[in-house]
Amino acid sequence: MLVSAADELPPAWALLNSNESVFGPSRHAKDAARASVSGIGRYPEGADAALARAIAGFHGLDQDRIVVGQGTDDLLARLFRAYLGQGDQLVRSANGYLKVPNYAHANGGEVVSVEDDELTPSVDGMIAAVTGRTRVVYLANPENPAGTYLPKAEVERLHAALPDDVLLILDCAYAEYAWADDYDPGHDLVTTSANVVLCQTFSKLYGLAGARVGWAYGPKDAVDTVRRIGLTFPMAAPSVAAAMAALEDQAHVAFVRKENRALLERFCGRLTRLGVDCVPSQTNFVLVRMPGAAQSESAVVALAERGIRVRRMNSPAYASFFRVSIGLQNELDATASALECHLMEAK
Ligand SMILES: Cc1ncc(COP(=O)(O)O)c(C=O)c1O
């Protein structure tokens, strides 16, 4: 019988590989999901509209310009279906969210990948890459897997340079975590533009990854199109109930935001003292830099042997790195200690 490397690893006790919130959702969200189960014999009539209204109310946005979906991924897939046809070009940053090229290819689109500026999307590079065939420019802000971000002024500069018939998609899956003073997800930019769509999610800071809830804010015609090409009943009732309750529990949001930042800074501080570099992050994960690909691979295996799962990316640009999602303090302390032991053993 063949035994794979994964079979030989001990079971994982620290899952720091998928950027979920280690704090989970608000308990009110779980209660609301549980309570809604009594009604699952019926179609969730109007549930998506109710959630869009709640999101609009909370953020002070126009409800008619919001569409909800099963995670940001669902909305991105629908946006690409609507806006990218055979031979059209998508411009994106080369080492950004890896799922996005698939959505373009699925519609016959061509993917133009622009080299990063030291792990940050290059605004100049993206502007230079736009051609007459470009229909969509995609930017994750903050970016995954780098954790870096573009300041508000840079996003506005990118938008100002785009022709009116090019759609700018801002994927702000980690917006709620970002604390930099010059960061802004771009709600005002969407409000005042006819060609910007912004996506946010309940999967990350709200801790509802398993419920699959995301939303997009954009021009009315774009939002109508995305809604029309979605399912008749696009959202499961318990997921909508959970998201609405989660939105109301801003004390939980504030707690998670504060804890996450403190845990990230403490973890990076410890790694820095070990002589290991962390890429500055505005999210709930951090990219750890090793001297080379072999060292990154052996460190990830050493962590896995201690039951700690972190993520290595396929992209050659990230060969020397691995990504650690921000876990609980004991998980991060164990990760740092395991890495310290591994580095000493490897000397
Ligand atoms: C940048 C980015 N966009 C979108 C997603 C998808 O999130 P969702 O769970 O909302 O589909 C992820 C998930 O990791 C992500 O990192």
127-139 tens-digit pLDDT:
999 999 999 999 9
- Say which amino acid occupies 120: T
- Count how many residues are written for the chain: 347
Ligand 1 atom with the shortest distance to the CA of 76? 4
Which domains are delineated in the chain? Answer: 5-23+251-346 (3.90.1150.10), 27-248 (3.40.640.10)
Ligand 1 atom with the shortest distance to the CA of 209? 9
Mean pLDDT over each residue of the chain, to the nearest integer: 95
Question: Would the pLDDT of 3 be above 70?
Answer: no
Question: Would the pLDDT of 176 be above 90?
Answer: yes
CA 145–ligand 1 middle distance (angstroms): 11
CA 285–ligand 1 middle distance (angstroms): 13
Question: Would the pLDDT of 277 be above 80?
Answer: yes
Q: Would you state the pLDDT for residue 2? A: 37
Alpha helices in the chain (DSSP H): 5-8, 27-36, 47-59, 71-83, 100-106, 123-129, 152-160, 187-191, 220-228, 237-248, 250-273, 293-305, 329-346
d(CA 281, CA 294): 24
7 pLDDT tier (thresholds 50, 70, 90): low
Among protein residues, the one with the nearest Cα to ligand 1's atom 13 is: 173
Question: Would the pLDDT of 4 be above 50?
Answer: no
- Select the highest-mean-pLDDT range: 4-13, 220-229, 309-318: 220-229
Q: What mean pLDDT comes out for the span 116-122? A: 94
d(CA 192, CA 194): 7
Q: Would you state the pLDDT for residue 346? A: 82
Q: What mean pLDDT comes out for the span 122-148? A: 97
Q: Would you state the pLDDT for residue 347? A: 77
Q: Is 202 in the pocket of ligand 1 (CB under 6 A)?
A: no
CA 165–ligand 1 middle distance (angstroms): 26
- Residue 291 burial (CB count, 10 A): 10
Q: Is 141 in the pocket of ligand 1 (CB under 6 A)?
A: no
Q: Is 93 in the pocket of ligand 1 (CB under 6 A)?
A: no
CA 9–ligand 1 middle distance (angstroms): 28
Q: Is 201 in the pocket of ligand 1 (CB under 6 A)?
A: yes
Q: Is 173 in the pocket of ligand 1 (CB under 6 A)?
A: yes
